[in-house]
Structure 1
């Protein structure tokens, strides 16, 4: 089981949205806060990321503006929480609302053009629709603004392909571009994980031989009656050594993470399928609906049936089987 792909599949609530923006200076774009994660790819030219003052977080406390960030060709930005921000040719310039159009209602990407006398820049701007109700700790480990400079290994290849497809309207483009945009997210996360040097955290957990194999086992068979000893054996470690190592890297004990992931799957099944409660319970390792309902309410603060009534249809539909 690919843990990274499984995590993203669990968090996705719909397809990505994106638009190609071609501007000549002077220009400045204001992007409102959005659900999920916002992203930008600098395909041609240069620009600045501007993060103005504004309410942030559940408490609504104003957060000071970060220093403007210079962006070069090939750079990729991921704004983890979809916070409001701006892009401009000059960090001191005025910003206007980003309002792309579509050539056709069914077009997979939008477009925006701003004419001017100055240098040209071409961007791909968009957002990934990700659930905010149950954010995976892997996503919480990301910086709020993840900046990956151009020429970043395989990620650079995807941005080059995107640029080529967006520059010319060739047969198949409407299918290729959305697929490349969706594929870019795991490449971004992989590039982030491979570049981390910290000895702990999810980046280290994914690449750790023992903990990584245990995570793969949990994601492959979440309904299995796992013990800490079983999970440690996946990576050839004793129970005590494995438990200590897993907790240090992941931030929770092996069985606590197992329960968290089971309840994440359960919430998705209740929201996106018509599977009976008994089926959902068995899919996540519970032999009785009563035991499942008790665990679910402890995690979500509400009964499974009520959760389904309140959240049905909010994600990407999936079959019940």
Structure 2
């Protein structure tokens, strides 16, 4: 089971963006609107806060050292208690968000719960979590400006720790996650991720898997929720999105480097995956 969890974690790629919070004094409240692109989080550095998901009457109290992650970006609010405990700030929060990269299988991200809560000292790896908390506190508490890149990397590790704890339970009862943890499926995914632009087809991928095309396609769809070719297309378009965001390459060149010899075919595939054209996508990233 431990090997299965590590195999699944190896498939997860996140980009973290940390935002150093502030001391909040009673009474206070703030909300995040729904955004399924972002997995927002709050780490309570000191004090306490409450969280409530939109549309729910349940509210959860968080204490110093606790972290909450909203994996699928649903709307939620944080607020102070009904009465102040003292004249000191009621909470010091360290916040930010994660983005799961295009190579992270949707079979994992779509199964994550609306809310993940890690209690201080209750994690399956409490000692490592405590060390991570100390590193974040040290960076945030520096007299000089905290290094954004350091905090971003620490938040990514924080996310993986929380997902690791969730997987420990989820793998016992989720057949899709068990299939995704298969070593042979992982080999196929690694090959695709290493070069999405390659001329992949079902026959080549099935030979890597070591089974017939029919058996491979059935197993692959159970594990990822997609057909092999749909998964390749998703990875190619994800790679194209990164190029459109970070380079000035012409769209035709982005298409070629993403594995599309025909720009029109690329445009159709891109619109199918993202709902917009490559040019419009690039413009939106620069607004």
- Class of the TM-score when normalised by the shorter of the 2 chains: 0.7 to 0.9
Q: Distance in 2 between matches of 1:270 and 1:282?
A: 13
Q: TM-score, normalised by structure 1?
A: 0.67
**Contact in 2 for aligned 1:33/1:84 (Cα 8 Å):** yes
Q: Give 5+ residue unaligned stretches, structure 2.
A: 1-9
Matched, 1:251 2:242: no
Match of 1:39 in 2: 41
Matched, 1:169 2:142: yes
**Contact in 2 for aligned 1:47/1:89 (Cα 8 Å):** yes
In terms of fraction of residues, the more helix-rich structure is 2
Count matched residues.
267
**Contact in 1 for aligned 2:251/2:278 (Cα 8 Å):** no
Match of 1:212 in 2: 186
Return the offset for 1:40: 0.6
Matched, 1:69 2:60: yes
Write out aligned runs for 1:1-321 (5 A).
3-5=11-13, 8=14, 16-23=17-24, 26-33=26-33, 35=35, 36-52=38-54, 64-90=55-81, 93=82, 116-117=86-87, 121-128=91-98, 137=106, 138-151=108-121, 152=123, 153=125, 154-166=128-140, 168-169=141-142, 173-175=146-148, 176-197=150-171, 198-201=173-176, 203-204=177-178, 207-300=181-274, 307-315=277-285
Q: Distance in 2 between matches of 1:254 and 1:130?
A: 20
Return the offset for 1:234: 3.6
**Contact in 2 for aligned 1:205/1:212 (Cα 8 Å):** no
Q: Distance in 1 between matches of 2:78 and 2:204?
A: 50
Return the offset for 1:245: 1.7
**Contact in 2 for aligned 1:78/1:145 (Cα 8 Å):** yes
Q: Distance in 2 between matches of 1:297 and 1:177?
A: 34
Q: Distance in 2 between matches of 1:83 and 1:232?
A: 37
Superposition RMSD in Å: 3.6
**Contact in 2 for aligned 1:223/1:286 (Cα 8 Å):** yes
Q: Distance in 1 between matches of 2:46 and 2:270?
A: 49
Q: TM-score, normalised by structure 2?
A: 0.74
